[in-house]
Structure 1
């Protein structure tokens, strides 16, 4: 395959990207020719060239020719075509990621001003705003930034494929950065050919259902090549940048404000496969990964620090550390640093054995006591650092040792903080069962909210547990309490940061939060007598109604003296999680975004009133329909006071591999989170609140958008049938890409469908409906009610008002920017072919015509407000990338539609379902952030 012949002139800076894509396309084409024969290669080229001709010239004859080519293929040819176009999308993604790295390096080499999203840019802005060193130090001391990896079923790539793609990325980087001899260049080219050939010969699909532990191991794999190495590197770079701000002031290491979290192995909401044993195994696997890394780094560090006592001075503490080592080798008697390190190694190996982990790859030199905590381990590393620094060898302390010390500070013995999440309905049933067994006739389930709160508060005043070892409880209650006991044990084994959070899905009342408090008391994680609470109790507000009620619920909760006392043991910090996915499915893109924004404003005010610090946990997905989009702009678009140095954000599905499979890209994404949080915390309060008339206008726009969305999705007769027939939702369930079902219940109801497959399905048919539907109707209705009046400089209605909102209000800018991106990825002509799968012609025409009209109306409104002549006019690189991908996506969509037609006609041919699954993979790769 070859890259598209550009119809527009490629900027000089983007020529390397074009060349990389051409190189990878050529290698892929050669691989197809060699492996599949000239006939398949010729067909791939015919499809490619015909699709390009149609997109370039809008040639209807080319479209008909393309359909004829694709419809006339044999099953074997169909599969090969799908794989060819799918792999081209994957390879193009690799090239684009490498180009982003290349452009960042070019800016740095040229001495350009720091770019937005970098810590250098954030610190420069802070300096210009007069933020002194003390305020910066206070920020990092109190901050908590935590990306939380979740295992949602939109990652369609296998780890085997991801590993080869990382190899290709590394080889492209070497070609860019290393001046190669002809022999070296040929060796690199051959290595690329090997990697592409291996990809071609590796199955794109999983043939067995993923288990929870599969998901856990997949998530852990990103630590080995990205998080464990790149996060300490980010800390070291930040430490050096802060030192430059005040060279005369001695600064220590940066506090571990940026940490990792995970839901993999702890999220039970709708996943019956997460048990106490699974949670325990997850914790063991995470800890094993961390300690394995530390042991390897200690071994390498011992090889580096061959300092002889005759040539260096050392601190008394270092001398004592060396003497305590079980290392009695005569060869190292004069090498105190090595002896100290072998002693540390021995203690860490003993710690690993005590935690049930396999023996280290290299045996310790002798027996030594295990560490009681990761802090004790780091304290001994600090002795080495302090001795080197105090005795003229500070540069040695700034290498591997500094990276290891930061790693231990951040990852401890637990690697990532594992969240527990469960639905409030489960907690309600558990508490009701425990109360009924302890106090017969309580009738907890029949009480109103006030009655429940009173009963729960009464129980929380006493240390007496409700449960009894002599009573048999339901499997649900027994299993859930076992998980909570596992959390208590994890605190003892791995430290309190190993499992610091309990999240309550579908929280809609104060009693939902108090129920969890009662359950935590049962396992010793809440102690009523001293007011101790060992984990954060976090309500998750998901639907539009929940978001609207969230402020009142938290106001009532924080007014309870008993609960306020518990928060004192948590540093007077209360976390609240906001759900982007379900609120979008419930109320549409515009209303979801607006209700989230309003909820944040209200929560900020309520928490300030009660003297409690707010930490928001943003449950975002990869796609715009699930709260996705650029993280930097999203954080800066939060209302003033919503980011108080503390923020947690989910990283879901294919977004994880897209952001973190490449180590350098991963570090820059982590840096962006830190930079945006710093700017939003220290600079955002100085930004004036939005004008009141902007808020009023947005409220009205949201109301109109909500009505349009609800009318279509929930009030149109037959819409559920339209959705299930016109998308690939049924076939997604067969992909083996997640451990839990796509629906909460065994129904076709939109209400019961999980938001992830909902959004993923609309992306596959190229409509992206959750990312824009309702906006066009909202603008049209608002303009009808508010005709133009006033001037452009002082607008008070009409289009002038909307343009001013876009120009001056970050929230509205981000809303439209994300919509701009998702509309650019949509294709109404392709979507119409999926609509053709709907068997009822009246339903098909009625629904699709409404969608098509709203799609065009939304584009027209977006362009009118932004002043653009075309979508993504302000982002030409992304526009060109999307435009050049379409000719490679369209054949996959065409084949998918035809295979869906055959599959639903009861075709039992194996290649049909397999082909559908392959097209899902390829389309997801071509669109990126689609889940």
Structure 2
């Protein structure tokens, strides 16, 4: 096949882009950003770079659109024909392009959300809290719906593994570009403001191009803490109370803001960043202390600024808004403790009692941050009491809109974030605890022993300084018995000594492997009867939290059997908790990728077994997902609204009865799918030599060199079995190879074993668990590419394993299309299908560059080439940006 002429190439690219049914505004954004990147490549790249990028772009689009072997081979020849240095530049160019396309897509989502907010029906979206409340009221009555709304809890827990493949410097550049694109949108088409915005975007894209895309060193745990703090500062601090406000506005109508809100704060933040030490030797007790201090510093600064802003706005004269007796008493107390400042504030606000109080409260918040013992608050409850005194005084004086306006936002922020921002959770492996206790019982000690004990001392210190809510949950990985949890209490006692009070701990079992999930109900029954655990259970009102891991179970038995096992475990645990009167919270250890429980959270929540949610949903938010869901205020508010609505509706009688009936009706299908999928998965992963083969046909080894996060990628020095490998690189490596095996392998065989196509279609429509599973697999397969996958698999010299993977991919694709309807993947989800198709040929370009580097690095006769290693790592970063996930 001959190379296209320039005119033919332009025509091909134009037809491909026109064929992507993009909203016109987004198409314009992509066009502008792409053309500006082209100018930067021409101005700042080496001679001929822009032309080479266009050659590869044209070739991969042609290969994608006509799907002939000849077209694909020509695209591969273009990629292979570059020098290593030029391939490096081309990879960087495509990666920049993905950052810009992702930005345009996010910008379009925000644009739609803003347009929706501008319409009167904005709060009545089908999947909003307000709509869920209305539906729930119809089913259970308004009083019961109000009770459930008051008990609602959404508890995202931010983790550090993996962090984003892109550097924070790159993220910062993209955020600045987002602001410039906003300005470009609002400027007149031909005016100077638009030209200025375009010039500044060009300047910023030049910065993006010139910024080294790879981190020189892995981030430290403290770096990861500060990265997550950026999300809090830029979005969550203001976004969360805005969600509460929107819901209250809808529920109260014209009365909103003029009387006490209906909505109670339902978001609670958690963090593993700086607390999760399972397998991460860099997370020490010192790091945990620093993580808590950094988080407290951020939230107290935010509360101080907000209190000052509210105070400065309360210029209400005592004549029009007389203070209550309680407010006057509060003024006397505050003045006695801060005389000079009180005198100065009184002079500046001579007849404004509410303003005076708020300005002094801001000083007390500042003193809490700087640890000024004379003025500092002991805990957030005392601050809330003072704020409510102000609020009640305003309301009693007839100034209800001031009482429940901006001041209410501050009250919500204190109720949500406290003085600690996010509860820092500690996680450690049960085997570590067992080793340390054995040494202590023998009167021995070593560095590991001292570090484990110091962790408990750190928790005690954090609770004393920031309050018991700042750090009280302790997660035990690989919980196998009640003794594994009791060990935590024994170690806490060892750490502080017999004469001191140990920290208050809620010890949480984590069931990760397939075998552990099966054993979980029995282990829990043993746990609640253990004396060390039963005492704490009674103190909490019989509240129990149980964590379920999605990653290791999927790696154990494959995604299909793991999903079925997770559902069964949740159903059994929920039924057991109901039977013995325990208020259960299931903590879902979901990752960003589909092979680790990722996918749309709201549909997954609605597919949970009866009583497994009951108005409470807690999950881990990992790596790039944190920034995708919470990086932009409008998107964060929409995500929280959607998830909370699903949590509210999950316990509706209609939803629970539907899930229960479907699970019973299709139990035979579940059994067949479980057995067939596991058999197929084991035929692959238990084949002798599978683990080293996997390491050879994917960039798994090289991913460990990419400075993604502080946690090591594997447990040992080499990969001789899957047990040596962590779940994240297992998923990430298959994703990079465009196979995505961890997200779909075994479903085709499972559906084939059932065989009844009509009944499977019926099950897909009626059984939420199967629908969620199949939809997630469709998404995973849509991001895979059989032609590129085959080239990766051919690196391994194991035709039997390669053929098995490819056959299962084809079988799964065929069955998913037949079960979901239509003639291609994602036919029923056009927006998602469009996003995948728009990116695919550009991801192909990076995959071809990665393949050439991987072939060179797998050549046993060639010396290790640092330039090829760099090219491979650049392509890894670029593919992650294109597919929008790592692990």
Q: Same fold (TM over 0.5)?
A: yes
Quick one: distance in 2 between partners of 1:321 and 1:161?
A: 49
Of residues 95, 98, 122, the one that matches 2:104 is 95
Of residues 516, 535, 540, the one that matches 1:565 is 535
**Structure 1 segment 119-138 matched on structure 2, within 5 A:** 119-132=129-142, 134-138=143-147
For residue 343 of structure 2, give the secondary structure of its aligned residue in structure 1. Answer: coil
**Structure 1 segment 59-138 matched on structure 2, within 5 A:** 59-111=68-120, 114-132=124-142, 134-138=143-147
Once the two structures are superposed, what CA deviation does each residue of 1:799-839 show, in whole Å capped at 9, x if it has no partner? 2322221111101110101011101111011111212322x
Q: Which residue of 1 aligns with 2:434?
A: 428
For residue 575 of structure 1, give the secondary structure of its aligned residue in structure 2. Answer: strand
1:154, 1:760 within 8 Å by CA — same for their partners in 2? no
1:525, 1:535 within 8 Å by CA — same for their partners in 2? no
Quick one: distance in 2 between partners of 1:321 and 1:560?
A: 47
For residue 301 of structure 2, give the secondary structure of its aligned residue in structure 1. Answer: helix
Q: Which residue of 2 aligns with 1:733?
A: 704
Quick one: distance in 1 between partners of 2:499 and 2:415?
A: 28
Quick one: distance in 1 between partners of 2:117 and 2:729?
A: 40
Q: Cα offset for 1:690?
A: 2.2
Label 1:520 to 1:731 Cα distance change in 2 as closer, same or farther (>3 A). Answer: same
Q: Which residue of 2 aligns with 1:509?
A: 481
For residue 5 of structure 1, give the secondary structure of its aligned residue in structure 2. Answer: helix
- 1:929 maps onto 2:885 in alignment: yes
Quick one: distance in 2 between partners of 1:651 and 1:4?
A: 37
Once the two structures are superposed, what CA deviation does each residue of 1:135-162 show, in whole Å capped at 9, x if it has no partner? 2332243333210110112511111111
Q: Which moved more, 1:894-903 or 1:678-687?
A: 678-687
Q: Which moved more, 1:614-623 or 1:901-910?
A: 901-910
For residue 199 of structure 1, give the secondary structure of its aligned residue in structure 2. Answer: helix
Label 1:562 to 1:79 Cα distance change in 2 as closer, same or farther (>3 A). Answer: closer
1:533, 1:570 within 8 Å by CA — same for their partners in 2? no
Q: Cα offset for 1:239?
A: 2.5
Q: Which moved more, 1:636-645 or 1:337-346?
A: 337-346
Q: Which moved more, 1:811-820 or 1:518-527?
A: 518-527
For residue 48 of structure 2, give the secondary structure of its aligned residue in structure 1. Answer: helix
Q: Cα offset for 1:543?
A: 0.6
Q: Which moved more, 1:192-201 or 1:891-900?
A: 192-201
Q: Cα offset for 1:177?
A: 5.5
Quick one: distance in 1 between partners of 2:158 and 2:488?
A: 23
- 1:287 maps onto 2:296 in alignment: yes
- 1:386 maps onto 2:392 in alignment: yes
Once the two structures are superposed, what CA deviation does each residue of 1:484-540 show, in whole Å capped at 9, x if it has no partner? 1211221111111111211010112222122223223445799999xx993221111
Q: Which residue of 1 aligns with 2:776?
A: 818
**Between structures 1 and 2, the one with greater helix share:** 2
1:154, 1:756 within 8 Å by CA — same for their partners in 2? no
Q: Which residue of 2 aligns with 1:880?
A: 834
Q: Cα offset for 1:12?
A: 8.0
Quick one: distance in 1 between partners of 2:656 and 2:76?
A: 56
Q: Which residue of 2 aligns with 1:711?
A: 683
Once the two structures are superposed, what CA deviation does each residue of 1:886-912 show, in whole Å capped at 9, x if it has no partner? 111111111111112223445454432
Of residues 733, 749, 760, the one that matches 2:732 is 760
| Unmatched segments (≥5 aa) in structure 2 | 1-8, 336-340
**Structure 1 segment 246-285 matched on structure 2, within 5 A:** 251-252=260-261, 254-285=263-294
Of residues 657, 672, 676, the one that matches 1:700 is 672
Of residues 339, 343, 356, the one that matches 2:356 is 339
Quick one: distance in 2 between partners of 1:526 and 1:58?
A: 72
For residue 540 of structure 1, give the secondary structure of its aligned residue in structure 2. Answer: strand
1:743, 1:753 within 8 Å by CA — same for their partners in 2? yes
For residue 690 of structure 1, give the secondary structure of its aligned residue in structure 2. Answer: helix
Once the two structures are superposed, what CA deviation does each residue of 1:739-766 show, in whole Å capped at 9, x if it has no partner? 1211122231211200001000000000
Once the two structures are superposed, what CA deviation does each residue of 1:66-94 show, in whole Å capped at 9, x if it has no partner? 22322222233212111111111111111
Quick one: distance in 2 between partners of 1:28 and 1:799?
A: 48
Q: Which moved more, 1:12-21 or 1:47-56?
A: 12-21
Quick one: distance in 2 between partners of 1:179 and 1:555?
A: 67
Of residues 463, 468, 483, the one that matches 1:491 is 463
Quick one: distance in 2 between partners of 1:237 and 1:368?
A: 38
Backbone CA RMSD of aligned residues:
2.7
Once the two structures are superposed, what CA deviation does each residue of 1:557-611 show, in whole Å capped at 9, x if it has no partner? 2344663332011121111110100000011010000000000111011112221
Of residues 718, 721, 729, the one that matches 2:692 is 721
- 1:635 maps onto 2:621 in alignment: no
Q: Which residue of 1 aligns with 2:825?
A: 871
2:260, 2:404 within 8 Å by CA — same for their partners in 1? no
1:727, 1:765 within 8 Å by CA — same for their partners in 2? yes
Of residues 842, 852, 856, the one that matches 2:806 is 852
2:218, 2:710 within 8 Å by CA — same for their partners in 1? yes
**Structure 1 segment 529-928 matched on structure 2, within 5 A:** 534-560=504-530, 563-683=533-653, 684-687=655-658, 688-690=660-662, 692-713=664-685, 715-748=686-719, 749-783=721-755, 798-838=756-796, 841=797, 843=798, 845-905=799-859, 906-928=862-884
1:419, 1:500 within 8 Å by CA — same for their partners in 2? yes
2:249, 2:257 within 8 Å by CA — same for their partners in 1? no
Q: Cα offset for 1:436?
A: 3.7
Q: Which residue of 2 aligns with 1:151?
A: 160
Q: Which residue of 1 aligns with 2:178?
A: 169
Of residues 185, 193, 217, the one that matches 2:194 is 185
Q: Cα offset for 1:11?
A: 8.9
Once the two structures are superposed, what CA deviation does each residue of 1:247-280 show, in whole Å capped at 9, x if it has no partner? 8996446333211111011101011111111111
Q: Cα offset for 1:9?
A: 6.6
| Unmatched segments (≥5 aa) in structure 1 | 356-366, 438-471, 784-797
Q: Cα offset for 1:693?
A: 4.3
1:153, 1:737 within 8 Å by CA — same for their partners in 2? yes
Quick one: distance in 2 between partners of 1:525 and 1:813?
A: 53
Q: Which moved more, 1:405-414 or 1:63-72?
A: 63-72
Quick one: distance in 1 between partners of 2:394 and 2:199?
A: 45
Q: Which moved more, 1:579-588 or 1:661-670?
A: 661-670
Quick one: distance in 1 between partners of 2:461 and 2:141?
A: 43
Q: Which residue of 2 aligns with 1:458?
A: none
Q: Which moved more, 1:47-56 or 1:804-813?
A: 47-56
Q: Which moved more, 1:741-750 or 1:416-425?
A: 741-750
2:424, 2:470 within 8 Å by CA — same for their partners in 1? yes
Q: Which moved more, 1:321-330 or 1:616-625?
A: 321-330
- 1:196 maps onto 2:191 in alignment: no
- 1:219 maps onto 2:228 in alignment: yes
Label 1:500 to 1:718 Cα distance change in 2 as closer, same or farther (>3 A). Answer: same
1:580, 1:618 within 8 Å by CA — same for their partners in 2? yes
For residue 279 of structure 2, give the secondary structure of its aligned residue in structure 1. Answer: coil
- 1:233 maps onto 2:187 in alignment: no
1:521, 1:527 within 8 Å by CA — same for their partners in 2? no
Q: Which residue of 1 aligns with 2:338?
A: none
Label 1:54 to 1:275 Cα distance change in 2 as closer, same or farther (>3 A). Answer: same
Quick one: distance in 1 between partners of 2:364 and 2:170?
A: 38
Quick one: distance in 2 between partners of 1:852 and 1:12?
A: 30
1:21, 1:92 within 8 Å by CA — same for their partners in 2? yes
Q: Which residue of 2 aligns with 1:461?
A: none
Q: Cα offset for 1:691?
A: 5.0
For residue 476 of structure 2, give the secondary structure of its aligned residue in structure 1. Answer: strand
2:460, 2:503 within 8 Å by CA — same for their partners in 1? no
Q: Cα offset for 1:384?
A: 2.7
Q: Which moved more, 1:375-384 or 1:864-873?
A: 375-384
Of residues 342, 348, 355, the one that matches 1:327 is 342
2:154, 2:267 within 8 Å by CA — same for their partners in 1? yes
Q: Cα offset for 1:294?
A: 1.5
